[in-house]
Amino acid sequence: MDNAIARVKDFLEAHRTTAEQFLSEFLAIPSVSADPQHRPDMKRAAEWVAQFFSQMGLAAELIQSPTGHPVVYAETPHCEGMPTVLIYGHYDVQPAEDPTLWQTPPFEPTIRGGAIYARGASDDKGQVLTHLLSVGAWYQVTKSWPLNFKFVIEGEEEVGSSVLEKFLDEQADRLACDCIVISDGNQFGPDQPAITYGLRGIAYFELRVKGPHRDLHSGSFGGTVTNPATALTRMLGQFMTQDGRVAIPGFYDDVLPLSNEERRRLRELPFDEPAFWASLGVETAWGEPGYTVLERRWARPTFEVCGLWGGYQGDGAKTVIPANAGAKISFRLVPHQDPDRIREALLSYLAQICPPGVQYEVIDLHASPAVLTSLDSPYIKAAENAVKMAFSRSPVFTREGGSIPIVSRFQQRLGADVLLLGWGQDDDNTHAPNEKFSLADFHRGTLASAYLWEFIRQIGKATDS
């Protein structure tokens, strides 16, 4: 069995064409979860995944709900003493939108220039398939499962994961695992694979400010009542200090500081700051002092006004004191910050800074803590080795500024380490016309996945001995 991985590698190389055919089949199903017209296609895609498990020798279960799209769930027969890996991915895709913007139709997968073009190629059908193919190859070559696997392939990643959330709430025990593997993101750059070990969390609110019970003429009444729009800007204007820190008392209390080792690693990443600014069309960097751009993006909490409204927004002038104004505000959170405590700090601060004469209301829209897997995790080491073998290059270790709520939920519920192994590239046009996925990355990702099971197996053995 010691040369099993070599034989798996050979198998994968010999079956590249078959792998690409599977991918094409999968991509040809227009599984747009947001569009009710594609409901039959969603069913077809779920069944295609279930059928794939069946070909691997595994019985798949469709976790259903009356309104949502099914989660396809499968697991290998439990083998005591082996680590258990949960593989998460999704078979639903974003709408293709305007077909005239696509060089080839979004649901007619086409290979050109070494990449396969289709909606869902990179996000996430191509990436999820790498893991299914690698596990399948292991079984075909060795007639046994290298690890205990649980597969959770959902159909609502793009529309809110309602079925999966319920599944997690009700049957978390079934999903118990040692490690969660997710490939639904990008490498650091061309030929520079990355392992993402952290995500920021989020606390997102709507703030509504209410003043007089109707809009008032700003001439007749200006100066006598608190204007809700003015009050809103006054309040929000006090959310950040002049130098770019969040001004809410207690906001930074629980923040896990970056270690010197981590800061060193981040500094070593090849990050072209002038190119970054140019790509955004801004001239000046701005943010919390004392941190690099990547530290601020990935590992420091922030405050943002995501939406703002009140009064007259049309052409010309309307002289009005609006009765109401509001904002969508979000905080990006980092490890050890608790969304509930942030909410409490926000409420205390608002009570302190709200001017007299208006009332406000805070509506909770979204909360999810940050995710962080220790760089000392043996699974991180296993992934590092696996990626190095498949890509002939050491991965860099990155964090993400965004939040993936389901990942946070997995980590909270299952308490397992999370490996985010994105095989995509920044120019894959996910959520945009002409989405693509490099076939080289598809095959390297599959091979890295095969190696990952080998290296995790070795952890299992090391722990056993």
In the complex, minimum distance from the CB of residue 188 to a copy of itself, in angstroms, rounded to a whole number: 14
Whichever of 108 and 361 has its CB closer to a copy of itself, that residue is: 361
Among 217, 264, 267, 393, binds a copy of itself (CB under 8 A): 217
DSSP letters, 350-404, are HHHHPPTT-EEEEEEEEEE--EE--TT-HHHHHHHHHHHHHHSSPPEEEEESS--
- In the numeric block, the tokens 């965004």 are attached to 402
Task: Decide: is 275 part of the binding site for a copy of itself (CB under 8 A).
Answer: no
Whichever of 30 and 424 has its CB closer to a copy of itself, that residue is: 424
Assign 3-class secondary structure to 389-407: HHHCCCCEEEEECCCCHHH
The span from the CA of 346 to the CA of 306, in Å, is 16
Task: Decide: is 369 part of the binding site for a copy of itself (CB under 8 A).
Answer: no
Burial annotation 129-157 (CB, 10 A radius, 16+ → b, else e): bbbbbbbbbbbebeeebbbbbbbbbbbbb
Whichever of 104 and 319 has its CB closer to a copy of itself, that residue is: 319
In the complex, minimum distance from the CB of residue 204 to a copy of itself, in angstroms, rounded to a whole number: 5
Whichever of 310 and 445 has its CB closer to a copy of itself, that residue is: 310
Task: Decide: is 351 part of the binding site for a copy of itself (CB under 8 A).
Answer: no
In the complex, minimum distance from the CB of residue 295 to a copy of itself, in angstroms, rounded to a whole number: 9
The span from the CA of 194 to the CA of 425, in Å, is 11
Whichever of 20 and 184 has its CB closer to a copy of itself, that residue is: 184
For the segment 377-406, give every residue that binds a copy of itself (CB under 8 A). 400-403
Among 36, 275, 356, 464, binds a copy of itself (CB under 8 A): 356
Whichever of 338 and 426 has its CB closer to a copy of itself, that residue is: 426
In the complex, minimum distance from the CB of residue 266 to a copy of itself, in angstroms, rounded to a whole number: 13
**Contact assessment for residue 326 and residue 229, using Cβ atoms and an 8 Å cutoff:** no
For the segment 287-346, give every residue that binds a copy of itself (CB under 8 A). 287-288, 293, 296-297, 300-313, 316-322, 325, 327-328, 330, 332
- From the number of C-beta atoms within 10 Å of its C-beta (0-12, 13-18, 19+), residue 214 rates as exposed
Task: Decide: is 274 part of the binding site for a copy of itself (CB under 8 A).
Answer: no
Task: Decide: is 264 part of the binding site for a copy of itself (CB under 8 A).
Answer: no
Task: Decide: is 95 part of the binding site for a copy of itself (CB under 8 A).
Answer: no
- From the number of C-beta atoms within 10 Å of its C-beta (0-12, 13-18, 19+), residue 270 rates as exposed
Stretch near a copy of itself under the rule CB under 8 A, chosen from 29-37, 128-136, 173-181, 274-282: 274-282
> Smallest Cα–Cα separation from 88: which of 110, 99, 72, 105?
72
Which SS3 state, helix, strand or coil, does residue 234 take? helix
For the segment 173-212, give every residue that binds a copy of itself (CB under 8 A). 200, 202, 204, 211-212
For the segment 139-168, give every residue that binds a copy of itself (CB under 8 A). none
Whichever of 171 and 224 has its CB closer to a copy of itself, that residue is: 224
In the complex, minimum distance from the CB of residue 146 to a copy of itself, in angstroms, rounded to a whole number: 35
Task: Specify the long-range contacts of residues 110-116, CB closer than 8 Å, at least 24 apart.
Answer: 111/20, 111/439, 114/438, 114/439, 114/440, 115/436, 115/437, 115/438, 115/439, 116/20, 116/23, 116/24, 116/27, 116/436, 116/437, 116/439, 116/442
